[in-house]
Amino acid sequence: MTSKRVYTCSNCGAELADEGNIISKSFQGRLGTAFLFEKAINTYQSLIEHRQLTSGIHKVADLRCKACSVLLGWKYLEAKEESQRYKEGRVLLEKIRLQKKGDWF
């Protein structure tokens, strides 16, 4: 099994994250269900702000696709609550912005 399962940008096809980097598939984004990843590639940070999320106030940076600039989700920079600290440095990508590539079955 050497095939790589990756998520790509649903808008332009750029690779964004490995399936192996998924932490959770049941997060809530702006556009519905979102996945939490350990890291992502081919993204850049745009707006940085403190945002009230369902789990409290977090400092987040919006993440956009490096190739097509579509808004993909955000990166958690800081969490106020101790229980939310595990999210720091992690990346939330909206499910609707993701497409699967590779040998999934």
Residues that bind Zn ion in the complex, under the rule CB under 5 A: 9, 11-12, 14, 65, 67-68
Q: Which is nearer to Zn ion, 11 or 84 (CB)?
A: 11
Tally Cβ neighbours within 10 Å of residue 63: 23
Give just the sign of the alpha carbon dihedral 91, 95, 99, 100: positive
- Least Cα distance to 49 among 39, 38, 60 occurs for 60
| Sole residue written with tokens 């990843």 | 37
CB of 11 to Zn ion, least distance (A): 4
| 24 and 35 Cβ atoms separated by less than 8 Å | yes
Q: Which is nearer to Zn ion, 41 or 47 (CB)?
A: 41
Q: Which is nearer to Zn ion, 14 or 53 (CB)?
A: 14
CB of 51 to Zn ion, least distance (A): 23
CB of 8 to Zn ion, least distance (A): 8
